[in-house]
Amino acid sequence: MNAPPKPLLILDVDETLLFAAETPLERASDFGLGPFYVYLRPHLDSFWKTCAESFTLAVWSSSGSDYLEGILSRIVPDDICLAFTWSRERCVRRYDAERQEYYFVKDLKKVKRLGYDLDQVLIADDTPQKVGRNYGNAVYVRPFLGEPADEELIHLGRYLTSLSGCSNFRKVEKRGWRNHV
Ligand SMILES: [Mg+2]
């Protein structure tokens, strides 16, 4: 008998899994990529492993594809296989009239078109605006700006694991998730 398919977990990159800046912080970066000093969020390696036990993993970033490929080649463990790696090209560009600036939206309709049942899809992102069309699938993460004592990924990994057996993620209130770990 085949094991049931794992639910899909889509991860944001910047400020969720790492912090990249053109100006270095006061501590040494984990690596450099082009003009960027890259600081990995603490516990990232164990977070990949924890999540891969319960989920099929994918990455969706609103950054450019060259940057994303460069980053992923450095941060994804060899034994982790990603279902897809999407960059800005897959986002929808929207204009915020109040702030007079463009922003990017990750619309899970595109994931549904691949055949995924959205009841079994979660997306973790530090920017609610980017997943506003699918808030029922979203788990909001505190933005990571390089703090060396950050523990968000430990808590997030535990929480996501606790959700993984749920038949419909969209029916679960996830906004106060830190109170459940
Ligand atoms: Mg982000």
pLDDT at residue number 27? 96
Residue 12 CA, ligand 1 centroid: distance in Å: 6
How far is Cα 50 from Cα 122, in angstroms, rounded to an integer? 15
pLDDT at residue number 133? 86
Residue 127 CA, ligand 1 centroid: distance in Å: 6
- What's this model's pTM, rounded to 2 decimal places? 0.96
Residue 115 CA, ligand 1 centroid: distance in Å: 25
| Topology classification of domain 8-180 | Rossmann fold (3.40.50)
Token reading at 12: 């944001």
Q: How many residues does the chain have?
A: 181
List the shell of residues around ion ligand 1, using CB closer than 5 Å.
12, 14-16, 126
Residue 6 CA, ligand 1 centroid: distance in Å: 24
Residue 85 CA, ligand 1 centroid: distance in Å: 14
Domain ranges of the chain: 8-180
Residue 1 CA, ligand 1 centroid: distance in Å: 39
pLDDT at residue number 1? 61
Nearest 5°: the CA angle 153, 164, 68 is 50
How far is Cα 13 from Cα 17, in angstroms, rounded to an integer? 5
Residue 113 CA, ligand 1 centroid: distance in Å: 23
Pairing of strands 121-125, 138-140: parallel
Nearest 5°: the CA angle 137, 172, 142 is 60
- Per-residue pLDDT in tens (0 to 9) along the chain, 181 residues: 677 789 999 999 999 999 999 999 999 999 999 999 999 999 999 999 999 999 999 999 999 999 999 999 999 999 999 999 999 999 999 998 999 999 999 999 999 999 999 999 999 999 999 998 899 999 999 999 999 999 999 999 999 999 999 999 999 999 899 988 8
Residue 37 CA, ligand 1 centroid: distance in Å: 16
How far is Cα 127 from Cα 175, in angstroms, rounded to an integer? 13
How far is Cα 31 from Cα 8, in angstroms, rounded to an integer? 29
pLDDT at residue number 181? 84
